[in-house]
């Protein structure tokens, strides 16, 4: 059983130290590890549940008082790790749904909930780089499915008071595809 975890710190240096200790502690795969806006650091890992739990607990201990947010998802939708690691090339087609959040963890939760709620393709997950800490996710599929996915993802983000905005484009112009990915 696969899982993912996120650690977000308010210090880049402490985030790098946490990353080092996390990968030394348990056999996990690093999906992303980098500075994000506004001057924070994120570590996203995946692996077997027990290894990810052990690794994220180590990271939390190292980060200490500099933790901004953390998240552990025991069974994320299968599309989430792939898109986060940019192993798949996004394909955006009509219709398109977008969920914008105030935080990284809430975007991941929204993406997971949306993909589990309806048969949509997770096309894009952008996490806080160049967006003052905001994040967004983009889904594609049949219009009723996109609507159901956006509603489910938005509900999770709203529950955590992190929802900024949603939008659904029923028939987007093909010229905007390059700007969504």
Say if CB 107 and CB 127 are below 8 A apart. yes
Q: What is the distance between the alpha carbons of residues 122 and 115, in angstroms, rounded to a whole number?
A: 7
Largest alpha-carbon pair distance within the chain?
Answer: 47
Model pLDDT, residue 177? 75
14-28, 55-69, 72-86, 157-171: segment of lowest average pLDDT? 72-86
Q: What is the distance between the alpha carbons of residues 80 and 108, in angstroms, rounded to a whole number?
A: 8
Q: What is the distance between the alpha carbons of residues 163 and 113, in angstroms, rounded to a whole number?
A: 14
Model pLDDT, residue 128? 86
Q: For the segment 96-105, what is each residue's pLDDT rounded down to a tens digit?
A: 999 999 999 9
Sheet (strand 40-48) strand order = 29-36, 40-48, 2-9, 67-73
Domains plus CATH for the chain?
2-73 (3.30.70.1710), 85-180 (3.30.70.1710)
50-54, 88-92, 147-151: segment of lowest average pLDDT? 88-92
Chain-centroid distance, C-alpha 135: 8
Is the model's pLDDT at 172 over the cut of 70? Answer: yes
Cα-Cα-Cα-Cα torsion 142, 79, 3, 68, nearest 10 degrees, comes to: -80
Q: How confident is the model at residue 86 (pLDDT cuts 50, 70, 90)?
A: low
Model pLDDT, residue 89? 55
Is the model's pLDDT at 88 over the cut of 60? Answer: no
Model pLDDT, residue 38? 87
Q: What is the distance between the alpha carbons of residues 1 and 180, in angstroms, rounded to a whole number?
A: 31
Say if CB 165 and CB 100 are below 8 A apart. yes
Q: What is the distance between the alpha carbons of residues 90 and 110, in angstroms, rounded to a whole number?
A: 18
Q: What is the distance between the alpha carbons of residues 96 and 72, in angstroms, rounded to a whole number?
A: 27
Model pLDDT, residue 78? 86
CA distances from 76 to 44, 49, 129, 142 (A): 13, 11, 22, 22
Q: How confident is the model at residue 30 (pLDDT cuts 50, 70, 90)?
A: very high
Q: For the segment 56-81, what is each residue's pLDDT rounded down to a tens digit?
A: 999 999 999 999 999 999 999 988 87
Cα-Cα-Cα-Cα torsion 116, 122, 128, 131, nearest 10 degrees, comes to: -120
Average pLDDT value over all residues in the chain: 91
Is the model's pLDDT at 87 over the cut of 70? Answer: no
Model pLDDT, residue 136? 94
CA distances from 60 to 36, 69, 127 (A): 18, 9, 20
């Amino acid at each position: 059983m696969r899982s993912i975890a996120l650690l977000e710190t308010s210090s880049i240096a402490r985030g790098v130290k946490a990353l080092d200790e996390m990968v030394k502690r348990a056999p996990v795969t690093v999906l992303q590890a980098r500075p994000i806006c506004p001057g924070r650091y994120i570590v996203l890992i995946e692996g077997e549940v027990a290894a990810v739990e052990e690794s994220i607990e180590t990271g939390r201990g190292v980060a200490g008082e500099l933790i901004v947010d953390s998240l552990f998802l025991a069974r994320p939708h299968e599309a989430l790790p792939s898109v986060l690691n940019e192993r798949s090339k996004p394909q955006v087609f009509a219709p398109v749904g977008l969920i914008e959040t105030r935080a990284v963890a809430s975007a991941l939760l929204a993406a997971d909930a949306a993909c589990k709620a309806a048969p949509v393709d997770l096309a894009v997950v952008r996490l806080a780089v160049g967006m003052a800490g905001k994040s967004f996710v983009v889904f594609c599929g049949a219009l009723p499915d996109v609507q159901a996915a956006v509603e489910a993802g938005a509900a999770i983000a709203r529950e955590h008071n992190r929802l900024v905005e949603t939008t659904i484009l029923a028939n987007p112009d093909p010229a905007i595809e390059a700007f969504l990915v």
